[in-house]
């Protein structure tokens, strides 16, 4: 099936003097899907996003957004994209009210006046900011400013949304509402989302597609469900025993479905292949050796573990 890709990135490169912030990045985001670009600090996420919204010019490579080339038709690209810049809460006019901030951008995005009024009201109400519409943006809390910046990105009903860490600085309830809104907009209205984040849990929950970037390079990319399967096929467990931790370690090392055994304070960290069928084997072996098990618990996969695992797999 031919997928209609709203964002297509081809070998994009951006250098800042010595640093190659974005290094031969290629990605595709199908229309109506939610894409998450994950990576540690300085990985090149924000630079990639700024290239897509035509703020920066690439040194080489091409990209198109909503069918428009970022170099050939930058104005069209900007018309069809809504952008939440990094630290969005700091990108509002502090002396203008919440309402005026949105009103100004509605004009710049050519939203007809009547429609703008309605959309501003709907968005402010949705984000619980309607009561604060006449307060200067500079007097809002960081989280409220972040929500206002999100309203600004959604204002002109763009077909592609480029959001740089949209839920950073939001409280859990607000973050959940924003995730729900993103899901609704993507699934009901077919808007496409390109989201930067370092929050793996959030990206896993929200995104249809994920890519991991580090030092400007894409380490892996694919459908979230496929990556999740790949992650779940090998998982890290934490084993706590009452004593004899060395014996437990040598037992674990002797099992062919266990990779990577290490001692962390009073526990063993084990990477277990297919834990669903293999954990019971491990437990039986330990019990047979009279080792008192206090706990065998699944370690939550952190972004770091995922990187480490991806990097290790690349090497093998």
Partner 1 sequence: MNLSKSLVVAKADIKMAMNYKYVKFGVLGMGAMGPLFSVLSVPMIYILDPNASSYIEFILPYISSMLAMFAIIPAALISANSFVGEREQNTLEPLLCTPLTDMELLVGKSLSAFIPSILILVFGTLITEIASNILLFAFGFPMMLIPDMPGLFLVFASGPPMIFVVVFVMIIISGRVSRVYEAYQVSGVSVLVYIFSMLVPTMFIGSSMPFGQVIWFTNILTFMISILLLLITSYLALRMFNRDRMITQI
46 binds Mg ion (CB under 5 A): yes
Sheet containing 5-16, strands listed edge to edge, beginning at the edge strand earlier in sequence? 19-30, 5-16, 60-65, 68-69
In the block, tokens 């740089």 appear at 164
Contacting residue, 24, 86, 121, 135, with Mg ion by CB under 5 A: 86
Locate all alpha helices (DSSP H) within the chain, ordered by sequence: 45-52, 74-79, 98-108, 113-126, 142-154, 172-189, 200-206, 224-232, 245-253, 275-288, 303-315
Subset of residues 33 to 52 that bind partner 1, contact rule: CB under 8 A: 50
> What span, in angstroms and rounded, lies between the C-alpha atoms of 217 and 24?
7
CB distance 33 to 182 below 8 Å: no
189 binds partner 1 (CB under 8 A): no
Give the nearer residue to ligand ATP in terms of CB position, either 198 or 249: 198
Subset of residues 150 to 179 that bind partner 1, contact rule: CB under 8 A: 152
Give the nearer residue to partner 1 in terms of CB position, either 16 or 189: 16
Which range of residues in 51-59, 79-87, 220-228, 263-271 is near Mg ion by CB under 5 A?
Answer: 79-87
- The site that binds partner 1 (CB under 8 A) totals a number of residues, namely 29
Contacting residue, 149, 175, 218, 239, with partner 1 by CB under 8 A: 149
Residue 183 contact among partner 1, Mg ion, ligand ATP, none, beta carbon within 5 to 8 Å by kind: none
> What span, in angstroms and rounded, lies between the C-alpha atoms of 152 and 224?
28
Q: How far is the CB of 76 from partner 1 (least distance, A)?
A: 8
Give the nearer residue to partner 1 in terms of CB position, either 34 or 77: 77
Residue 96 contact among partner 1, ligand ATP, Mg ion, none, beta carbon within 5 to 8 Å by kind: partner 1
| Secondary structure tally for the chain: helices H, strands E | 11, 14
In the block, tokens 């491990």 appear at 282
Quickly list DSSP for 171-237. Answer: -HHHHHHHHHHHHHHHHHH--EEEEEES-HHHHHHH-SEEEEEETTEEEEEEEHHHHHHHHHTEEEE
**β-bridge partners, 162:** 83, 194
112 binds partner 1 (CB under 8 A): no
Residue 54 contact among Mg ion, partner 1, ligand ATP, none, beta carbon within 5 to 8 Å by kind: partner 1
CB distance 211 to 202 below 8 Å: no
Give the nearer residue to partner 1 in terms of CB position, either 95 or 280: 95
Q: Which parts of this chain interact with partner 1 (CB under 8 A)?
A: 16, 50, 53-57, 75, 78-79, 81, 83, 85, 87, 90-96, 104-105, 107-110, 149, 152
């Amino acid at each position: 099936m031919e997928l209609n890709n709203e964002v297509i990135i081809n070998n994009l490169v951006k250098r800042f003097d010595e640093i190659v912030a974005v290094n031969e990045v290629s990605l595709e985001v199908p229309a109506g899907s939610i894409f998450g670009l994950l990576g540690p600090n300085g990985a090149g996420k924000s630079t990639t996003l700024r290239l897509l919204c035509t703020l920066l010019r690439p040194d080489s490579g091409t990209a198109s957004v909503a069918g428009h080339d970022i170099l050939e038709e930058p104005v069209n690209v900007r018309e069809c994209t809504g952008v939440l810049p990094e630290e969005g809460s700091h990108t509002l006019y502090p002396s203008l009210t919440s309402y005026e901030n949105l009103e100004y951008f509605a004009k710049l995005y050519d939203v007809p006046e009547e429609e703008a009024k309605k959309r501003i009201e709907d968005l402010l109400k949705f984000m619980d900011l309607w009561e604060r519409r006449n307060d200067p943006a500079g007097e809002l809390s960081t989280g409220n400013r972040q929500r206002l910046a999100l309203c600004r990105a959604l204002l002109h009903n763009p077909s592609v949304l480029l959001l740089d860490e949209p839920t950073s600085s939001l409280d859990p309830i607000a973050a959940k509402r924003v995730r729900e809104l993103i899901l609704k907009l993507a699934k009901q209205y077919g808007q496409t989302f390109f989201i930067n984040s370092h929050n793996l849990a959030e990206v896993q929950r929200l995104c249809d597609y994920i890519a991991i970037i580090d030092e400007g390079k894409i380490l892996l990319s694919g459908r979230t469900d496929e990556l999740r399967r790949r992650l779940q096929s090998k998982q890290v467990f934490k084993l706590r025993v009452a004593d004899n931790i060395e014996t437990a370690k040598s037992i674990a090392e002797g099992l062919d479905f266990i990779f990577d055994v290490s001692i962390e304070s009073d526990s063993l960290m084990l990477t277990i292949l297919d834990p669903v069928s293999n954990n019971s084997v491990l437990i039986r072996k330990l019990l047979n050796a009279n080792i008192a098990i206090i706990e065998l618990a699944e370690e939550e996969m952190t972004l770091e573990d995922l990187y480490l695992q991806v990097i290790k797999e690349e090497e093998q």
